[in-house]
Amino acid sequence: MNTTISSVIDRHRRRLGDRLAILAHHYQHDDIVRHADHVGDSLELSRKIADLTAEYIVFCGVFFMAETAAILAAPGQKVLIPDAKAACVMSDMAPHELVAVISRNLRSTGRTVVPLTYVNSSARVKAVCGRLGGSVCTSANADTMLAWALGQGDGVLFLPDRMLGANTCDRLGIPPEKRHILDIRRHGALIDHQAAAAADVLLWPGRCVIHDKFTAERIRAVRLEHPGALVAVHPECPPETVAAADAAGSTSFLIRYVENAPKGATIFIGTEENLVLRLAQRHAGEKTILPLRTSRCSNMAKITEEKLAAQLADIESQQPVAVPDEVREPAKTAVTRMLDVCA
Ligand code: 13P
Ligand code: SF4
């Protein structure tokens, strides 16, 4: 922590008072989390927006999170992010033009394929889902939302995270022969219509490069080295990893899992390490919390105390996250469907 910058942030927070709300995702560094009014997973932070009356909402996370807040913000509220270049690599794997073309192609056979996007996607992708009767999910409600989407048509296009999609199919008992991973190339998609027609769930081939690195082999090695240790991972990890772990769930689930574990437990956590290190500190002396392997989301790390301080110092002239009306309306429809289904 840089005490000078920290006190500058405190001063701006006092100056702005109720006009400011700072939100932070669990993957933010402690230097940021200590300044946040609300810390949560993607679902909790989306739900929080409706309760906020602040004129300025500063979102410390990656860009799609700030964009989701901007979709849900009330007229007149301004959503800001200390570094707009904090992108989510997985979100970037589903360009909206391609999602629109593929959604249309999948429907060209007369089949109603409902698009369901993980919240880790752009506002324009959410808008495609909203226009086509689809919705959004987070890692905390993917089971509920996939079950909902399956009830809305003849099949579901789940995007962009192939791993969360497959893990959710596993949880719902949708067998591998009822899933099909789309072959998406840089300039388009090769749709194997026969394979697609046989599947209930079509999976976009995106993934999180950070969670991809947690392997089932590593879990087996940990169990040999630390007999009796528990392992909990995020569902963005590959299905083999999830199958080898004791539990899988959203960042808030992982926090609760550690809280509920018995005293003296050793728990390896497979997710971004800022959260794991915070849990290790919080439970030091009671439980041993260790990262399954080192793994840092470099985009989450783009939000620093220095950038937060600079944004707050000049907040009145900062450019808020902008979502054009023609995108915001259908994107809001998609997100609101999720909030209603999971109310
Ligand atoms: P949560 O919704 O579980 O907080 O996860 C968001 C994310 O980006 C995980 O990589
Ligand atoms: Fe995106 Fe992965 Fe970073 Fe989460 S951890 S924000 S999915 S790149």
CA 243 remoteness from chain centre: 21
Query: How many A from CA of 11 to the centre of ligand 1?
Result: 31
Q: What is the pLDDT of residue 35?
A: 97
Q: Whose alpha carbon is nearest atom 6 of ligand 1?
A: 42
* CB 54, CB 24: distance < 8 Å: no
Q: pLDDT by residue (tens digit) across 151-181?
A: 999 999 999 999 999 999 999 999 999 999 9
ipTM of this predicted complex? Answer: 0.97
Q: pLDDT by residue (tens digit) across 183-209?
A: 876 556 667 778 888 899 999 999 999
Q: Whose alpha carbon is nearest atom 3 of ligand 1?
A: 250
- pTM attached to this predicted model: 0.95
Bond before 160 cis per omega within 30 degrees: yes
Report the b/e string of 254-284 with b at 16+ CB within 10 A.
Answer: bbebbeebeeebbbbbbbbbbbbbbbbeebe
Query: How many A from CA of 250 to the centre of ligand 1?
Result: 6
Which segments of the chain have a pLDDT < 70?
A: 185-190
Q: What is the pLDDT of residue 186?
A: 55
Closest Cα partner for 134 from 151, 112, 149? 149
Give yes or no for residue 297 CB within 6 A of ligand 2: yes
* CB 102, CB 191: distance < 8 Å: yes
Query: How many A from CA of 90 to the centre of ligand 2?
Result: 6
Give yes or no for residue 272 CB within 6 A of ligand 2: yes
Query: How many A from CA of 36 to the centre of ligand 2?
Result: 20
Q: What is the pLDDT of residue 85?
A: 97
Instruction: For ligand 1, pick from 41, 137, 162 the residue to mutate: most ligand atoms within 8 Å of CB.
Output: 41
Give yes or no for residue 72 CB within 6 A of ligand 2: no
* Domain covering 211-291 in this structure, CATH number: 3.40.50.10800
Q: Which residue has the tokens 């964009």?
A: 67
* Domain covering 3-89+300-321 in this structure, CATH number: 3.40.50.10800
Query: How many A from CA of 192 to the centre of ligand 1?
Result: 31
Neighbours of 106 (CB within 10 A): 24
User: What ligand is nearest to the CA atom of residue 302?
Assistant: 2
Alpha-helical segments (H) within the chain: 3-16, 30-33, 42-49, 63-72, 96-107, 123-131, 142-150, 162-172, 193-198, 216-225, 239-244, 251-260, 273-282, 305-313, 325-341
Residue 241: Cβ-neighbour burial (10 angstroms; 0-12, 13-18, 19+): buried
Q: What is the pLDDT of residue 187?
A: 56
Give yes or no for residue 339 CB within 6 A of ligand 2: no
What does the domain layout of the chain look like in residue ranges?
A: 3-89+300-321, 91-207, 211-291
User: What ligand is nearest to the CA atom of residue 210?
Assistant: 2
In CATH, the architecture of 91-207 is 3-Layer(aba) Sandwich (3.40)
Query: How many A from CA of 213 to the centre of ligand 1?
Result: 16
Let me know if the fold of 3-89+300-321 is the same as that of 91-207: yes
Q: What is the pLDDT of residue 2?
A: 76
Q: What is the pLDDT of residue 146?
A: 98
Atom of ligand 1 nearest to the CA of 88: 8
Four-residue CA torsion sign, 157, 159, 161, 165: negative
Q: Whose alpha carbon is nearest atom 5 of ligand 2?
A: 297
Q: H or E stretch including 230?
A: strand 230-233
User: What is the spatial distance between Cα 244 and Cα 231, in angstroms, rounded to a whole number?
Assistant: 8
* CB 24, CB 39: distance < 8 Å: yes
Four-residue CA torsion sign, 28, 31, 32, 35: positive
Q: Which residues line ligand 1 at a C-beta cut-off of 6 Å?
A: 26, 41-42, 120, 138-139, 208, 234, 236, 250-251
